[in-house]
Amino acid sequence: MGENVVMIHFGFSYVGFIFLLMLYVPNIIWTKHKPENYESYVKNENKILCLLERIGEVLVCVSVLIFEDFNLRKPNAWTIWLVLAVVAMLLYEGYWIRYFHSEQKMTDFYSSFAGVPVAGASLPVIAFFLLGIYGSNIFLLLATIILGIGHIGIHLKHRNEVTGTDRKKGIVVRVLQIILAVALGVIFGAMTLVIGIRNVHAIKGSVHSADGIEEEGYLDLCGQEQYYLMRGEDRNNPVIIWIHGGPASPDTMETYAFSNYLKADYTVVAWNQRGCGRTYYRNKDVDPDNETATFVQAQADLDALVDAVCERFHQEKVILVGHSYGTMVGSKYAIDHPDKVAAYIGVGQMGAGGSDIYAYEDALSLAMERGDDTEAMVAAFEKYQEEQNLENMLALRSYVSPYHTPDKESNYIWTALTSPFLGVDDVRWFGKQLGSLSDFISLNKQLFDYISEEDVYAYGTEFQVPVGFISGSCDWVTPVKYTEDYYNAITAPRKEMQLIEGWGHTVPQENPEEFADTLKKMLEDLMGETN
C-alpha cells in the first residue's frame, strides 16, 4: 500500500565508502610524493585549525559510513545533489592526476583546479557537503563544516605563504571574493539550518512503537493513484482522516506538526486530493488538465479512502477532520455516510457565502476609524461585486487582510519547509500556486466554480453523527460569525464549537499543540469516551 518514511536511518553506506576510497587512495600515494619543504610549512600550522581538521576528519568518516541515507534510491529532484557530489569527487581525482604529473612543488600542491581555489582541500569538502544535502543528513553537514573550516583554512594559509597571493591581489578582487564567500555561506548555511531542523523534527516525532505506523505512498482511489501519509503509535487507535482545503491546496506535509500531539491516541491519515500536489504530478500524464477533479469525484475518492482505511486498520468508522474548503468535502460526506463516520470536525468551517463582504465591511470600518485612505479598497470591492471570481476576491483580500492580522502569527510556510515529509512535488505545486493565478484557477476551474456557486447549507443541516467546529478567533477567511450561524442551524446528536484565541485561519499549522489539545478534548466530549 505504501512505503515507510525514511529520514535518518543507521546502516552501511556503500556510496559513502566509495567516496572515502576516492578521498584516501590519492592521499596514500601522495605520502610518497610530498612537495619539497612541505614539513617546514606544517610546523607553522594554526593549532585551532588543526584541531578542527582532525575532528572533522573523524566525524566525516564516521557519518558517511554509518547512515544509509546516501545510498542510491529512485531518481528524483534530490538526485542532482548526488550527481554534483560525484562531479566534485571526479574533479578531485583530476586535481591529483595533474599534481602527480607535475613537478610536485608546493605551488602545484596548493593550486586551483577547474576554478576551485586550493582544490586539494576544497573539492572533497564540497563533495561531502553535497552528499549531506542529498541524504538530508545534518550530521554529515555539520561534520563537513567543521572539516572545511580547519582543512581549507590550513590550505589557504599555506598557499598564501607559498605564493604571496593575498599581497598581490587588488582591492576589487578581494571585495568580490568576500561577497561571493558571504553569499555561498548564507546559501549553504540556510540549507544546513533547514535540513537540521527537518532532521530534528524527524527524530523527535518519529514513530517507534512496534504496533505503530509511519508510512507514505500512493493508493488507488477510483482509478487514480493518490498520495497519503499515515502516522500513529498504535494501529488499533481510532483513525482521523484529515481533509485539506484550498481547493487544491494540499498541506499533507504540514500535518506532522499537529499529528505529533495526536499520534499517541489516534492514527492520522492525510492525503493529497485529486488534481493537486503529489497526486497531480503522479497522474499528470493521464489527466493533465484536471478534468476529473470535481467535487462529486472528491466525494467518491473520499469514500474509497474511508473504505481502504477501515479495512487496513480494522475499523468500522473513521473521524473526519476538514479544514477550510475541506469542510465542504467533509460535511457533505458526513451527512451522506453516517454509517462510516464516527464524528465530524470542521476547522475553519465554511458557512454561507458573503464572508468576504463581511470581512470587507469590518476592514472598511476600521480603516475609516484610523483615517486611512480607503479609495483602493472600495474600488477593489466594487470590482468584486461586479464579478465575484477568485482573482477579484484575492485582490480584495489584499486590502482587507492587513486590518485582520491575528494577535499571534507564525509562518506556516516555515512549518512546511522544515517538515520531514516535504517532497519535491510539494515544492513544485507550491510554485504553481505562486505562479500565474489565472493558470492555477483554470487548472482547477470546476472546484473554484463549485465553491463560488454552492455553500454547505445545500447539503442539509441534519447530521446523524457528533459534530464539532474549531475556529481561530481572528479567522477572517472563514469568519467566526459565519461558522456560528451554521453551528446554530445544524442538528446533531452532540455538537460543540471552540475558539482558539488570537489565531487565524491556519491555526492547525501555526499553533499545532493547542489545536491538537483542543481537538482531543472535543473528540472526548463528543464521542463520550477518552481515547
pLDDT at 224: 94
Q: What is the pLDDT of residues 344-403, one digit of tens each?
A: 999 999 887 667 777 888 888 888 888 888 888 888 888 888 877 777 777 887 788 777
Find cell 557530489 and name the residue: 85
Say yes or no to pLDDT of 520 above 50: yes
Average pLDDT (439-467) is 89
Nine-digit cell string for 324: 477550510
Class of residue 162 by CB neighbours under 10 A (exposed 0-12, middle 13-18, buried 19+) = middle
Class of residue 329 by CB neighbours under 10 A (exposed 0-12, middle 13-18, buried 19+) = buried
**What does pTM read for this prediction?**
0.74
Q: Which of 2-16, 143-157, 365-379, 479-493 has the highest mean pLDDT?
A: 479-493
Say yes or no to pLDDT of 1 above 60: no
pLDDT at 76: 67
Higher-confidence residue: 474 or 17?
17
**Percentage of residues in the chain having pLDDT higher than 90:** 41
Say yes or no to pLDDT of 524 above 80: yes
Average pLDDT (442-467) is 90
Say yes or no to pLDDT of 6 above 70: no
Average pLDDT (123-151) is 87
Q: Which DSSP string corresponds to 362-398? A: HHHHHHHHHT---HHHHHHHHHHHH---HHHHHHHHH
Between CA 473 and CA 188 the distance in angstroms is: 39
Q: What region does 118 belong to: left with phi over 0, alpha with psi -120 to 50, or beta?
A: left
Between CA 112 and CA 347 the distance in angstroms is: 59
Backbone angles phi, psi at 105, to 5 degrees: -95, 170
pLDDT at 181: 61
pLDDT at 531: 43
Task: For CATH 3.40.50.1820, list the domain ranges present in the chain.
Answer: 214-353+410-526
Element (H, E) at 467: strand 467-472
Say yes or no to pLDDT of 236 above 70: yes
Say yes or no to pLDDT of 316 above 90: yes
pLDDT at 87: 94
Average pLDDT (255-279) is 93
Find cell 543528513 and name the residue: 137
Average pLDDT (487-497) is 95
pLDDT at 3: 47
Say yes or no to pLDDT of 509 above 70: yes
Fold of 214-353+410-526: Rossmann fold (3.40.50)
Residue 150 confidence class, pLDDT cut points 50, 70, 90: confident
- Number of C-beta neighbours around residue 507 at 10 A: 29
| Mean residue pLDDT across the chain | 85
Between CA 333 and CA 344 the distance in angstroms is: 9
Using alpha carbons only, how large is the chain's radius of gyration in Å? 29
Q: What is the pLDDT of residues 51-109, one digit of tens each?
A: 888 998 999 999 999 888 888 887 766 788 899 999 999 999 999 999 999 999 888 88
Residue 145 confidence class, pLDDT cut points 50, 70, 90: confident
Neighbouring-strand partners of residue 274 = none
Element (H, E) at 213: strand 213-221
Between CA 502 and CA 95 the distance in angstroms is: 59
Find cell 474509497 and name the residue: 304
Nine-digit cell string for 314: 480494522
